[in-house]
Structure 1
Amino acid sequence: MNQLKRVLNLPLLTFYGTGMILGAGIYTIIGKAAGIAQESLWLGFILAAIGSLMTALSYAELATMFPRAGAEYIYLKNAFPKHRWASIASGLMMVFAGAATASTVAVAFTGYLETFFSVPTLLAAGTLLILFTILNIIGLKESSWVNVIFTLIEVGGLIIFIYLGMNNPKFGEALSAKPSFATLSSAALIIFAYFGFENTVNLIEETKEPERNIPLAILLSLGISIVLYILVALSAQALLPPQELAQSQAALTDATKIASPKMAGVLSGIALFSTANTALIALVTTSRILYGMAHDHSLPAPLAKVSAKRKTPWLSALIVLTVSFLLLPLGKVEVLASISSFATMISFMAINAALIYLRIHAPNHKRPFRIPLSIKGIPIIPVLGFVLSLIFCLQFEGTVYTVGFLLFTIAVASGLWMQKSKNPFFLKESKTVPQN
């Protein structure tokens, strides 16, 4: 029985997806990505968009096959029921990724806040996480309307930036740039900017007509974001050289100063709404992953508890807040963003593999949404999505792998322990969908 309340229609769900995607990247990592890709920055956004779109289609199909909160965990559990540790590990990796996303944008928030006044990074970022965890616990309907307002503000800011860039004589010059290995490396960081579509599925138990609205919301929010991102990248390159973008802690604000110093302050204010919005949605959706796993009997039962009045998973929300806090001391935006990307790429590979396996071993399972293009029953797009995710996963620096593999080890060890556990602290074992 669904304990959560279905309050989200297609527009609200699309706002959630779009708000999560837009705030996560453009205001956060575009400067660092420019330092890697140089003139081919906009191509990095296209390459990352292709990788995101391939895996987004896999999420859309799997979400309509198994319409429950928990996403990666639920899908892998049904694909590989004898290896429940893998589904638990994948779910926990996405919890780490969501917490890292919340930490990343909270730190980025403080960077734009310094445009107005100076506040210690840990104090400002920590306060933001606490306030939005409280809003998360108060209720999804309340937080969804905050998200709508913040998303409209951040889209407006990006449109202003694009307008300023398009009026610069250098707009479009970057279109002649040729791709290089650095373009690929930048795409591994840039793909962080597209994260959010995968979190949309964690709201499926709070969505009206989920089989219709979840796939549509994923594709709509990702499509809107791709168009805006490419135009913003071209505008940024027209206003400021890549080397200067890379040195900035508030890249879009500094680029705006070139065209209109007055608008730079406005854009910094908008950036505050954008980064704050992403922190809010990351906290909301990640808490639903923990809730879904506990409700499906693979995490301690208390994590599945919801507030009697608000119908929100309050304990799961507090756990996500704690993990986000623990990541804050890592400090640098690019490190936190890369950790989130690494954890998410691991799960993206698992998601694509699960869909391929289910197409072969459960071909007759109901699929309200189905990815086109198959050869002998094997879906081509998920195969390409798996390969591209693997390539992205090999593009990070040493610190990211150190932290990433530590988190991966914790996730796998936890999965193996929980699979064997007979602790009454867990709920009874649940059933998986039978395969053909």
Structure 2
Amino acid sequence: MKPDKIPALARTLTLPEVTITGIGVILGAGIYALIGEAASMAGNALWFSFMLSSLIALFTGLSYMELSSMFPLAGAEYEYTKHSIGPTTGFVIGMLVVFSGILGSSTVALGFGGYLNGLINFPIILSAIFLIASSSLLIFIGIKQSAKVAIICTIIEAGGIVGIILLGLPYIGDVDYLAMPLGFAGIFQASALLFFAFQGFEEIVKLSEETIEPEKNIPKSLIFAVLITIVLYVAVSISIVSIGGWQEIAGSSNPFAKVAGIAFPGGYTLFSAIALFATANTVLLMLLSGSRIIYGMAKKGNLPKKFAEVHEIHKTPTFAIITAGIASIIFLGFGNISDVAYLANFTLFVTFAVINSSVIILRFKYPDYKRPFKIKWSLFKIPVIPAIGLMTCIFFLIQLEFDIILKGGALLTILIITGLTTGKKRTQKT
């Protein structure tokens, strides 16, 4: 088993540059959309839920690092899983990554609808459909146009998070930060929901080829990026409950705007506008990523060739973009933002459980294979950190409600059957 020989990219990124990029990747609009739902479960102890949910990012991120150092030019999750377990599982995990992006865009689009509804009383579902359709159109028009919009929105999004932290400073100490309306069960349920806010941390390892001393700098940047994001999320959660208490935002579809309205006149309108930019940005980026993964899988023969077709003028994968957009709109049918987010997290928990398992399996399957980055600390030859990462994923998976597990299980079953069927067809063709 030898890695493909492909010309190397220029290594120019330093540790600070990769860390900042990583923070930008992780810091999304999930916190704008879901912190109200999480508050109804965790109460003022939202900060604790954020810290718990970050554990998956920390442990699984290192597993991604070892796997990416083994297969640096390969197809990420699909390739890792194909080598460790088999091509059918690789196909299933690759498709789960696609669905995580599609479901993620549905979740945040509902968040966009919640803020717009609070601002002009426009139906949430219609707002979400409009956002997904317009984002898909922008992605179709071109990557340069999409990138320009994303940069502007990212600056506004980050400004909103810093703004809420600053607004909450005068209120610090006004509430009990250990108040948990549902006890630790609520903390765990909120953690399973809030993990959505950490989605994207795994993208950091894909900068390995362009980073100076990646064996040292990528793991460090991943840990730094996650830790800095945790600090920001914890600070936001403490500030937001300090201003009005968890009851003020519990179940709210526009939590940032609500507390900003309490903090100063005009705050509701201003932060509603900021949240619209933030949520629109995340939907755009998730649809962009999802469509490109579909395109990439089709190009490698794992999906029908139709998905790899590129528009002659715009040079974008038309059918892949349309498919991602339509699928995202279909999942809006769940209606409840927390249900869509939980289903998105189901796909992520299963994916990351397999990723952590792959590190363990490959240690036994290919013990002598070159690993430029190798996770330290093993017990009976089993790497400890991936094992903890696997257990963490399973723990959060069982925190999901039964109907979410049932729906996620149905999706998983369909993908397994599809993987087995397409696998047989490929075998017959060859």
TM-score band, normalised by shorter chain: 0.7 to 0.9
Distance 1:264 1:78 in 2: 51
Match of residue 27, structure 1, among 29, 32, 35:
32
Question: Are 1:90 and 2:83 matched, yes or no?
Answer: no
Describe the SS at the equivalent of 2:115: helix
Describe the SS at the equivalent of 2:119: coil
Question: Are 1:313 and 2:317 matched, yes or no?
Answer: yes
* Deviation string, structure 1 residues 186-206 (Cα, Å, up to 9, x no partner): 1111111111223556x669x
Alignment partner, residue 42 of structure 2:
37
Distance 1:173 1:215 in 2: 36
Give the conservation status (yes or no) of the 8 Å contact 1:19–1:278: no
Match of residue 67, structure 1, among 64, 72, 76:
72
Give the conservation status (yes or no) of the 8 Å contact 2:172–2:239: no
TM-score for both structures, normalised by structure 1: 0.86
Distance 2:294 2:74 in 1: 9
TM-score for both structures, normalised by structure 2: 0.87
Quote how far apart the aligned CAs of 1:310 are.
5.5
Identity of aligned residues (%): 37
Alignment partner, residue 406 of structure 1:
410
Question: Are 1:149 and 2:156 matched, yes or no?
Answer: no
Match of residue 260, structure 1, among 255, 261, 264:
264
Describe the SS at the equivalent of 1:337: helix
Alignment partner, residue 104 of structure 1:
107
Describe the SS at the equivalent of 1:261: coil
Question: Are 1:130 and 2:139 matched, yes or no?
Answer: no
**Correspondences of 1:174-189 after superposition (within 5 Å):** 174=177, 180-189=184-193
Alignment partner, residue 227 of structure 2:
223
* Deviation string, structure 1 residues 384-408 (Cα, Å, up to 9, x no partner): 0100100100112233123212211
Quote how far apart the aligned CAs of 1:43 are.
0.6
How many residues matched? 420
Alignment partner, residue 420 of structure 2:
416
Q: Which moved more, 1:227-236 or 1:390-399?
A: 390-399
* Structure 1 residues 119 and 313: alpha-carbon distance in aligned structure 2, compared to 1, 3 A threshold: same
Counterpart residue type for residue 34 of structure 1: A
Give the conservation status (yes or no) of the 8 Å contact 1:15–1:147: no
* Structure 1 residues 135 and 59: alpha-carbon distance in aligned structure 2, compared to 1, 3 A threshold: farther
Alignment partner, residue 76 of structure 1:
81
* Structure 1 residues 257 and 192: alpha-carbon distance in aligned structure 2, compared to 1, 3 A threshold: same
Distance 2:10 2:285 in 1: 16
* Structure 1 residues 349 and 84: alpha-carbon distance in aligned structure 2, compared to 1, 3 A threshold: same
Alignment partner, residue 195 of structure 2:
191
Alignment partner, residue 432 of structure 1:
none
Describe the SS at the equivalent of 2:33: coil
Counterpart residue type for residue 244 of structure 2: L
Distance 1:344 1:172 in 2: 34
Distance 1:120 1:35 in 2: 23
Question: Are 1:49 and 2:46 matched, yes or no?
Answer: no
Alignment partner, residue 383 of structure 1:
387
Counterpart residue type for residue 321 of structure 2: A
* Deviation string, structure 1 residues 202-252 (Cα, Å, up to 9, x no partner): x669x8459848667644543332111010111112112223321321112
* Deviation string, structure 1 residues 57-110 (Cα, Å, up to 9, x no partner): 212322332234743212101222xx3111111111222221110001011101
Give the conservation status (yes or no) of the 8 Å contact 1:304–1:313: yes
* Structure 1 residues 304 and 220: alpha-carbon distance in aligned structure 2, compared to 1, 3 A threshold: farther
* Deviation string, structure 1 residues 168-190 (Cα, Å, up to 9, x no partner): 14367416879723211211111
Counterpart residue type for residue 299 of structure 1: L
* Structure 1 residues 223 and 145: alpha-carbon distance in aligned structure 2, compared to 1, 3 A threshold: farther
Alignment partner, residue 251 of structure 2:
247
Quote how far apart the aligned CAs of 1:333 are.
0.8
Gaps in structure 2 of 5+ consecutive residues = none
* Deviation string, structure 1 residues 243-272 (Cα, Å, up to 9, x no partner): 332132111211222222322322111111
CA RMSD of superposed structures (Å): 3.1
Distance 1:41 1:143 in 2: 33
* Structure 1 residues 305 and 358: alpha-carbon distance in aligned structure 2, compared to 1, 3 A threshold: farther
Give the conservation status (yes or no) of the 8 Å contact 1:41–1:183: yes
Give the conservation status (yes or no) of the 8 Å contact 1:256–1:264: yes
Alignment partner, residue 396 of structure 1:
400
Alignment partner, residue 328 of structure 1:
332
